[in-house]
Each structure stands twice: as structure tokens, then as C-alpha cells.
Chain A
């Protein structure tokens, strides 16, 4: 079992729609959870972090965490073509390692 799993996609949504990205993790003791965005040929950049169960909203982005189900998600409302990128889920494990999933490619079609 991979430590952090994501559906590689691509996930294709029309402009203005809601994009839903999902991630599961194996280490039940994980403390902090991150969503990074990576444009082609660029380095990852942080979009959001979450460490408590529930929802956290920041502009068009909402992160959701369910520690009992070991599940993290990212919702992007009013998706724009500029949101087209690979979205990486990262988990700060109980042992202190920062582990990334394989990423989900999002395509927002005008």
C-alpha cells in the first residue's frame, strides 16, 4: 500500500465547474496535510494546509479532512483554465516525513 494515494487522472472539468480532488493516506498518526499545485516544468507551490477534521476554506479552494477515514480532499470552485495543473497531496507523517502522492492532473476546458 502506498503511503499517499491519488487518482492520477486526468480530471477534466468545464470552466466554472467544481473540481474535486481526492487523496488517501496510510499512516493513521499523520498530523498535517497539504495540497500543492505544480504547473508543467515548475516546482510545487503550496495552495492549502489542514490539520483538523472538517473543512477549511480559502477563496475558491476548500480542503476537507477526515482522519477517521484517512481521507483528504480539495475542492476548487468556479474552476478557471489557469487552474489546469497537477495537484499534489502531501502528508506530514507521524515520523516526521513529508510524503507526496503521485498527483492528479486537472484540465479545465474553456
Chain B
């Protein structure tokens, strides 16, 4: 079974530039997550999709970050304009989790992440 695919692996941009990350989840996984992980911290949930609808985006800085999941499969996360403090690893994960249902063992599988450096 193929895992979660993310691209690019690394990206260096100047502040105020824009950047986009792509994620292809495991086939059949309804839930897709984007996390931001700053060095030395735990993953911070930016946005969570259930199919192509948003479950939660309360931590997404909407003045500069946007995300979409067209057709309930692939997803893109965009930052425009980037700031120095956006330097982090951006992790995409997917799971079979369906919010509202008591699911057992609905683990999230992570991609390799995109390391973003804003200079």
C-alpha cells in the first residue's frame, strides 16, 4: 500500500514570497490533516478535512495560509506572503477517521513532510 506522498521535500524562499505544498493521501482515507511542526515543538494542526469539507481550521492563519482538497483526494497548502516565522516542517497525514463516529484504531499516517526555510 502506498503511503502519504508530499512534495516538495525541501523549499527555501525569501520572505514575502509565496509557496505551495502538495499532498496525496493514502487511497480511501477520508480524513486529511495538515500540521506545522516548528523545530523542538509538537505538530500543530493547521487544518483538517473530511473528504473535501473542512472539519477544523481554527489554527490556520487565514490572512496568509490557504488550503483546499479538491474532489476529496489531493490537497494543497499555500502560504502567501511567507514570513520568517513560517519556517517549519509541514506534515500531511491521512486516516480513515470519520468525525462523529466511534472509530477504533483510526491512526493517522504521515508523509515525509516538507521542510520550509524562509530567509
Contact = CB atoms under 8 A, between A and B. Distances in A.
Contact of A43 (B91, B99, B102): B91
A43 B50 contact: no
Interface string A26-64: 000001101000000001111001010000000000000
Given A43-B111, A95-B56, A100 B43 contact: yes
Nearest to A103: B42
Contacts of B110: 43-45
A7 to B, nearest CB: 12
A103 B105 contact: no
A65 interface: no
B85 interface: no
A44 B99 contact: no
A46 B106 CA distance: 11
B70 to A, nearest CB: 21
A97 B42 CA distance: 15
Given A32-B103, A49-B105, A90-B108, 20 more contacts: A32-B104, A32-B105, A34-B107, A44-B43, A44-B91, A44-B110, A46-B107, A46-B108, A46-B109, A51-B104, A95-B55, A96-B50, A96-B100, A98-B45, A98-B95, A98-B97, A98-B108, A100-B44, A103-B41, A103-B42
A90 to B, nearest CB: 8
B87 to A, nearest CB: 15
Given A92-B97, A96-B97, A43 B112 contact: yes
Interface residues of B, number: 29
B25 interface: no
26 contacts: A4-B42, A32-B103, A34-B107, A43-B111, A43-B112, A45-B110, A46-B107, A88-B42, A90-B108, A92-B106, A95-B55, A96-B55, A96-B99, A96-B100, A97-B45, A97-B55, A98-B48, A98-B93, A98-B95, A98-B97, A98-B108, A100-B42, A100-B43, A100-B45, A102-B42, A103-B41
Given A43-B91, A43-B112, A44-B110, A99 B104 contact: no
